[in-house]
Structure 1
Amino acid sequence: MTERPDSDILIVGGGLAGLPLALACAQGGLTVTVVDALDPATATDAKFDGRVSAIAFASCRMFDRLGVTQHLKGQMQPINDIMVSDGRVREGASPFFLHFDHKEIGDEPLGNLIENRHIRIALQKTVEAEPRIRLIAPQSVKHVDYGSQVTATLANGDKVTARLCFAADGRSSPTREAAGIKTIGWDYGQTGIVCTVEHELPHEGVAQEYFLPGGPFAILPMVGNRSSLVWTEKTADARAILALDDAAFAEEMQARFGDYLGACTPVGPRWSYPLTLQLARDYVRPRLALVGDAAHGIHPIAGQGLNLGLRDVAAAAEVIVDAARLGLDIGSLDVLERYQRWRRFDNVALSLLMDGLNRLFSNDIGPVRLARDLGLGIVQQIGPARRFFMRHAGGVVGDLPRLLKGEAV
C-alpha cells in the first residue's frame, strides 16, 4: 500500500508563477511543498532582476484574494493610460497613434507596474504566513519519479513525495525536459535592454509603447518620477549599445525617449535578455503539469508574459481544488487535461499575436509602415474595438477562473 505523501502538491520552482500557485492551492485546502534552486535572498536582491511587470487588473484581483497586495503598498504604480505610436530614431513619432484611457472601461486602472523584486518579496512574505506551504530553498530537484504518486529526489539526497507535481521552473525547465515534453519556437534575433530612468516631470501613470525599426521601445511608469525602459534592438545593435559608456548610452536613450518628461537620466545597472518564442507541445503528463514560463515564453511587446502565467496559476488551482473536493485523484490525466484544454488555446493565440505584432512593427518597409500607421489611426477612431483591446489587456476576456474575478479558488 502506498504511503501517504508528504504533501498534496509539489511545485518545482518558487518564482513568479510557483509561489502564487502554492498560495492558491493552499487557500483551497491543499498542502504544498515548493522546492526552488535559488536562494530567496538572491531572488529579491536589487541586482538580480531589473525588470518591472505590468500586472493586469484581473491579476491584481487575484493578488488581492491571495493576500499578496498588502505587502505591495507603496510599490504599485497604476497604469492610467497607454499610448501606442510608431516612428524612427531622431525623426519622432508618426502623427497616427492609439490611446487607451482606463476611464473608458471603468474606475480600475488598466493595471499596475511593479518591480519584479518587490513582487517576489511580497510573495515570500505571504508564503511565510501560510502554514500549508513548506518552502525548501535553495535546493534543486535531481530526479522525479511519477507512479502511483510523485517522488522527487533532491540534490542533497532527501526525498519529497506528493500526489501531483507542477513544473514552474522557467523557460529552460529541467522538470519539463526530464519528462520528455518537447517545445517549439524560435529566436527573434532581438535583445531586450532594461534599465531605470529618472526624469524631471511626472509621468501621470502613462505607459508608452513606441515602435521603432529595431523593435519596440517601451517606457513604463514606476513609483515616483521614474520609468523602466524595455528597449528592444537587433542583437548586434543591442550589444553595441550595452557597451557604450554612461554618457553615450544616455544620449542614445534620449534620442528615443524624447523630452516630454524633461531631463532624463539612466540610473542603476543595465540588464539584457534574449527574446525568443517558446511553446511546450504538451502541458500535462500523468502527475505532472506545466505552468508559466515552463509552458510558454512570449515576446514582451505588450507585457503579457507574467499575466499569462498567472492565468495558468488561477486555472490550474481551480481545476485541482475542485477535483480534490470531489474526491478525485488530482494527479490523474483526466483531471489535468481539463487544465490543458482551458489554457492552451489562450496561450498559443496570444503568443502568436505578439509574434505577429513584433514582425509587423519591427521593420522599416515603407508600405508596411504606412499600413500600420493607418491601422493605429483607424482603431483609435473605433471605440468598441479600442475598449475590447483594453479589456483583453486587462485579462477579463474569455472564461475566467474564479481567482481572476476576485473570488476564492
Structure 2
Amino acid sequence: MDNPARAAIFRRMEHDLIIVGGGLNGPALALAAARAGLTSVVLDALPDATRSDDNFDGRGYALALASQRMLAALDLWDGLAPDAQPMRQIKVSDGRVGEAQVFLGLHFDSAELEEGPMGYMLEDRFLRRALMAATEASPLITPRAGARVTAQSTRAEGATVTLDDGEVLKGRLLVGADGRSSGTAARAGIRRTGWGYGQTALVCAISHEKPHEGIAHQLFLPSGPLAILPLPGNRSSIVWSETEQRARAINALGDAEYLQVLRPRFGDFLGEIGLAGQRFTYPLNLTLANRFVDTRLALVGDAAHGMHPIAGQGLNAGLRDVAALAHVLSHANTRGEDIASEPVLARYQSWRRFDTASLAASTDLFNRLFSNDNPLLRLARDAGMAAVNAVPGLRRGIIREAAGLTGDLPDLMRG
C-alpha cells in the first residue's frame, strides 16, 4: 500500500495507541505518547472505584532516580514529591533468623552519587491516583474503566480490539500493559519462558519506634530475602519472601501472631513495630515473553517480563520499557514514519529485550545464591560482598546501576 493510501487509513483510526492495562505502565505510556501528540485509549478491566481506592494496602515502590526523572518529565513529580521518601542509603546483610548480629556485606550511600538520592520510595496509592488524574485531564487520552478485551486483531492496516459489550475499537498500535498473565500477549500467540521459585512474598507496611533515616535494608535469609524499605515518617514497607507453604501459614495468622513471626526476622534496630495498613501476598516467579513485539503490537512492563523482587526493579524496568517505546514512537512520528511499522517496533525490542533478560537472569541468580543456608555458599557470598564493599569504584558503579543511570537512556529519563 502506498504512503498516501496508508495515511488516509490512519486518519480514520480512532486512536494512535490502544493500551490494554490501566495500572501504572499503561497510563504512563499514554502520557508519554501524548507529549509526542499521539492519542491513546487506556483500557482497564477494573472499575474506577477500585482503581482510585485510598485504602493503604502496604504496597510501595522503590523508584530509581531515572524513574523519578521520567515522572518529573511527565509533570507528575511535583505533586508526588511530598509523599515520597528519598532512599539515602542501602544496607545489604546476610543472616539467619534470630541472630543478634548479622554480617554487613554491602553499604551503598547516595553521597557517592552526584545526581542526588539513588531513588525514592512511593506508595502505590499516590502514584496510581496521580496517573489516573493526569490521563483523565489530557485531551489526547481516553481512559476506559471496566472495559474487558475479549478479542483482538493486528494486521498491516491497523489494530482492533473487541470489548465484552461488543464495542470495537480501532488504532494504529496495540500495546499490552496487562501484567504477567497478559491476555494481549496470549491472544497474539506470544509464548513465555519462566519458572516458579516455590516462594511467596508477604507484603505489608509497618510503623516503628525509631526513625529509619532514609536507609533501605535488604536482609538475605535462608528462606528468601527480606526488604525493609523506608516510607515517609516512622514507617517502612516490607517485602518478605518465604517458602509457599510457610507463607500460607503465616498469612493465615492474626495480626499479633503475624508480627510475632516477623519480629525475629526484622530485628530490633527500629524499636517496637506494628502493622500500618493491610497485608497481602503474591507468588514469586520469573516469566519472560519470547518476543516483545508482533504485527502492530508491543508489550511493556510485566506483560513483557516479570522477575523476582529481590532488587526492587520490577516497576523501574516497566517504566524503562515505557520510556524506550515512547522514545522510539516519538522519533518515528517526527520523521513521518508509520509508528507501528515493523522497523520501528524492532528498534524498541532490540533496545529492551536484552536488558530485561539480563536483569531477570541476575535477579534469578541472586535469589538462588542467597536463598539457602549452605555454609560454603554463605562463606563465598559474604566474602564477595565484603570485597565489593571495599572497592569504591565498583561500589559506585553498582549505585549508578541501581539508580538507572547506566546504559542508553531514553529521552524521558535523561533529566
TM range (shorter): over 0.9
1:211 partner SS: strand
The two structures have a TM-score, normalised by structure 2, of 0.95
**Aligned position for 2:93:** 85
AA partner of residue 152 (structure 2): V
AA partner of residue 27 (structure 1): R
**Aligned position for 1:346:** 355
**Aligned position for 2:332:** 323
**Aligned position for 2:84:** 76
Query: 1:226 aligned to 2:228?
Result: no
CA contact (8 A) 2:147 2:163 kept: yes
2:268 partner SS: coil
Moved more, 52-61 or 245-254: 245-254
Query: 1:111 aligned to 2:119?
Result: yes
1:122 pairs with 130, 139, 161, which one?
130
Any residues of structure 2 matched to 1:31-110 within 5 Å, and which? 31-47=39-55, 49-110=57-118
> Could you list the runs of 5+ residues in structure 2 that have no partner in the other structure?
none
> Could you list the runs of 5+ residues in structure 1 that have no partner in the other structure?
none
**Aligned position for 1:239:** 248
Root-mean-square deviation (CA, aligned residues, Å) is 1.3
CA shift, 1:105, in A, is 1.4
1:341 partner SS: helix
CA shift, 1:92, in A, is 3.6
Looking at structure 2, the residues matched to 70 and 155 of structure 1 have their Cα atoms a distance apart, in angstroms, of 38
2:226 pairs with 203, 206, 217, which one?
217
1:134 pairs with 111, 134, 142, which one?
142
CA contact (8 A) 1:153 1:160 kept: yes
CA shift, 1:70, in A, is 2.6
**Aligned position for 2:12:** 4
**Aligned position for 2:344:** 335
CA shift, 1:153, in A, is 1.2
Query: 1:391 aligned to 2:400?
Result: yes
AA partner of residue 369 (structure 2): L
Moved more, 43-52 or 395-404: 43-52
Any residues of structure 2 matched to 1:306-317 within 5 Å, and which? 306-317=315-326
CA contact (8 A) 2:204 2:280 kept: yes
Paired residues, number: 406
Query: 1:403 aligned to 2:409?
Result: no
CA contact (8 A) 2:92 2:104 kept: no
Looking at structure 1, the residues matched to 48 and 366 of structure 2 have their Cα atoms a distance apart, in angstroms, of 36
Looking at structure 2, the residues matched to 93 and 352 of structure 1 have their Cα atoms a distance apart, in angstroms, of 31
CA shift, 1:267, in A, is 2.8
Alignment deviations for residues 132-168 of structure 1 (CA, whole Å, 9 cap, x no partner): 1111111111111112111111111112111111110
Looking at structure 1, the residues matched to 97 and 284 of structure 2 have their Cα atoms a distance apart, in angstroms, of 21
Looking at structure 1, the residues matched to 101 and 19 of structure 2 have their Cα atoms a distance apart, in angstroms, of 46
AA partner of residue 110 (structure 2): H
1:88 partner SS: coil
CA contact (8 A) 1:44 1:118 kept: no
Query: 1:267 aligned to 2:279?
Result: no
CA contact (8 A) 1:37 1:137 kept: yes
Looking at structure 1, the residues matched to 48 and 71 of structure 2 have their Cα atoms a distance apart, in angstroms, of 20
1:392 partner SS: helix
Looking at structure 1, the residues matched to 132 and 347 of structure 2 have their Cα atoms a distance apart, in angstroms, of 29
Alignment deviations for residues 7-27 of structure 1 (CA, whole Å, 9 cap, x no partner): 111111111110110000001
Moved more, 243-252 or 51-60: 243-252
Alignment deviations for residues 270-322 of structure 1 (CA, whole Å, 9 cap, x no partner): 10010000000011111000000000000000100000000000000011111
Looking at structure 2, the residues matched to 121 and 267 of structure 1 have their Cα atoms a distance apart, in angstroms, of 20
**Aligned position for 1:204:** 213
CA contact (8 A) 1:56 1:112 kept: yes
CA contact (8 A) 1:86 1:93 kept: no
112 and 225 in structure 1: CA distance in 2 versus 1, 3 angstrom threshold = same
The two structures have a TM-score, normalised by structure 1, of 0.97
CA shift, 1:213, in A, is 0.4
- Percent identity between the two aligned chains: 51
Alignment deviations for residues 76-96 of structure 1 (CA, whole Å, 9 cap, x no partner): 011000000010001244334
CA shift, 1:179, in A, is 0.4
CA shift, 1:35, in A, is 1.1
Looking at structure 2, the residues matched to 371 and 44 of structure 1 have their Cα atoms a distance apart, in angstroms, of 47
